[in-house]
Amino acid sequence: MIRLFRFALRMGVLIAALVVAYLAVTFVQVWLAARRDDARPSQAIIVLGAAQYNGRPSAVLAARLDHAIALYRRHLAPVIMVTGGRDPGERDTEAGASAQYLHQHGIPESAILRETTGRSTWESLQAAARFLESRNMRRVVLVSDPYHCERIEAIAHQVGLDAVTSPTRTSPIKGVAALQRMVGEAVRVAAGRLFGYKRLDRYRWVAKLVPGLATL
């Protein structure tokens, strides 16, 4: 009985060490992706949605949009696709608020594409991929916060996009808050690789039981 207990204890310690090592390696990959800007000539710039308030982008979303505008003005892509639906009780979609912001900052309406149905990263990128595929467009630059880049690039590839990331450097999420987001992203990426991002998104209510696991 004692030998069995010692064996179980050793196996438990080994498994815990492997989990910690896996999360540590994933965190480093998330951190490296956050520091990298792979912007290149593409067919579209996709901006991942964030909170909006009655049609006004939050500071986080505005920082992403400002970066997308800068990429557009560098002629890296002819269109900007904004993403994000609306939460229950909200009047405006994230994509709608983003499109209005872009238009107010000089981006012509003809250069703005909207994805207004997604309520998670997976849903938004999957819908964006379908929309762009109908226009024979696959080569994209993804714009979001730095901590988000490793996961969105992985999801984009899974839904059929030829994607690279270009994170904003003006996000208000900085310091300890950014580190916390990066730790959460490491958990999400680690889980997504093991179970699949699509499956985690499908069973979002289960993911929410584990802090930091939800793919929203």
pLDDT score at 5: 67
Task: Please count the CA atoms within 13 angstroms of the CA of 63 that sit on its side-chain side.
Answer: 17
Domains held by the chain: number: 1
Stated pTM of the model: 0.89
pLDDT score at 164: 98
pLDDT under 70 in the chain at which residues? 5, 7, 89, 204-216
pLDDT score at 212: 47
Q: Dihedral, CA atoms, 120, 182, 193, 155, nearest 10 degrees?
A: 40
Question: Which conformational region is residue 49 in: left (phi greater than 0), alpha (psi within -120 to 50 degrees), or beta?
Answer: beta
Q: Which structural domain, as residue segments, surrounds residue 10? A: 1-216
Query: What's the CATH code of the domain at 162?
Result: 3.40.50.620
pLDDT score at 216: 41
pLDDT score at 153: 97
pLDDT score at 215: 41
CB 145 within 8 A of CB 61: no
CB 6 within 8 A of CB 122: no
